[in-house]
Structure 1
Amino acid sequence: MAKKTTTTPGKLSVYLYIPNIIGYIRIIMNCIAFAQCFSNKWLFSILYFFSFVCDGVDGWCARKFNQDRISTACLLVILSQVYRPGLVFLSLLALDISSHWLQMYSTFLLGKASHKDVKDSSNWLFKAYYGNRMFMAYCCVACEVLYIMLFLIAENQTENLMDVLMTSARQSPVLSFVLALSLFGWAIKQAVNIIQMKTAADMCVLYDINKKQKP
Structure 2
Amino acid sequence: MTKSTTHLRRRGSIDVVDAKVAVDLATAQTYSENVFLFVPNLIGYSRIILAAVALHYMNYHPIYSTLAYCISCLLDAFDGHAARALGQTSKFGAVLDMVTDRCTTSCLLCYLSSAYPNWALAFQFLISLDFSSHYMHMNSSLVTGSRSHKQVDSDVSWILSLYYDSRTLFLVCAGNELFYIALYLMKWVHTPLSVTLGVNGGILSNITWPEVMAILCGPVCFLKNVVNVVQLWKASKVLVGVDLAERAKAREEEAQLAKKS
Counterpart selection for 1:27 from 24, 41, 48: 48
Alpha carbons 2:154, 2:160 under 8 Å: kept = no
Could you tell me which of 159, 181, 184 is aligned with 1:151? 184
Query: How far apart, CA to CA, are the structure 2 residues paired with 1:154 and 1:23?
Result: 29
What corresponds to 2:244 in structure 1?
209
Q: Name the structure 2 match of 1:62.
A: 83
Deviates more, 1:177-186 or 1:193-202: 177-186
Q: Is the 8 A contact 1:139 1:185 kept in 2?
A: yes
* Partner in structure 2 of residue 195 of structure 1: 230
Amino acid of the residue matched to residue 142 of structure 2?
A: F
Please report how far the alpha carbon of residue 115 of structure 1 lies from its aligned counterpart in structure 2 after TM superposition: 1.5
Residues 93/191 of structure 1: CA separation in 2 closer, same or farther (3 Å cut):
same
Rg larger for = 2
Give the superposition deviation at 1:123. Answer: 4.1
Choose 53-62 or 67-76, whichever is displaced more. 67-76
Partner of 1:163: none
State the 1:209 CA deviation. Answer: 1.1
SS at match of 1:85: helix
1:139 matched residue in structure 2: 172
Aligned-residue Cα RMSD (Å) equals 2.6
* Residues matched between the structures, number: 196
**Structure (1 or 2) with the greater helix fraction:** 2
Q: Which residue of 1 aligns with 2:123?
A: 89
With over 3 angstroms needed to count, the CA separation of the structure-2 counterparts of 1:170 and 1:128, relative to structure 1, is farther
Corresponding residue number in structure 2 for 1:76: 109
Specify the code of the residue in structure 2 equivalent to 1:85.
W
Q: What residue number does 1:119 align with? A: 153
Residues 169 and 176, structure 1, Cα contact 8 Å, conserved in 2: no
Moved more, 119-128 or 84-93: 119-128
Distance, in Å, in 1 between the alignment partners of 2:130 and 2:204 is 26
Secondary structure class of the residue paired with 1:86: helix
Partner of 2:73: 52
Native 8 Å contact 2:172 2:220 kept in 1: yes
Alignment CA distance shift 1:77-1:11 (3 Å) = farther
SS in 1 for 2:140: helix
Q: Using a 3 Å threshold, how does the CA distance of structure 1 residues 176 and 40 change in structure 2: closer, same or farther?
A: closer
Structure 2 residue identity aligned to 1:200: A
2:30 — aligned with what?
Answer: 10
> How far apart are 1:90 and its partner, in Å?
1.5
Counterpart check, 1:184 vs 2:219: yes
TM-score by length of 1: 0.81
**Gaps spanning 5+ residues in structure 2: where?**
1-27, 189-202, 253-261
CA distance, structure 1, for counterparts of residue 40 and residue 150 of structure 2: 19
Q: Deviations over 1:5-58 (max 9, x none)?
A: xxx961584333211221222222122211111110121011001001112212
Consecutive unaligned residues of structure 1, counting only runs of 5 or more, are 1-7, 156-167
Q: 1:36 aligns with which of 57, 82, 85?
A: 57
Given that 1:169 and 1:175 are in contact with CA atoms closer than 8 Å, whether structure 2 keeps it comes out as no
TM-score, normalisation: structure 2:
0.67
Closer/same/farther in 2, CA of residues 191 and 135 from structure 1, 3 Å limit: same
Give the drift of 1:89: 1.1
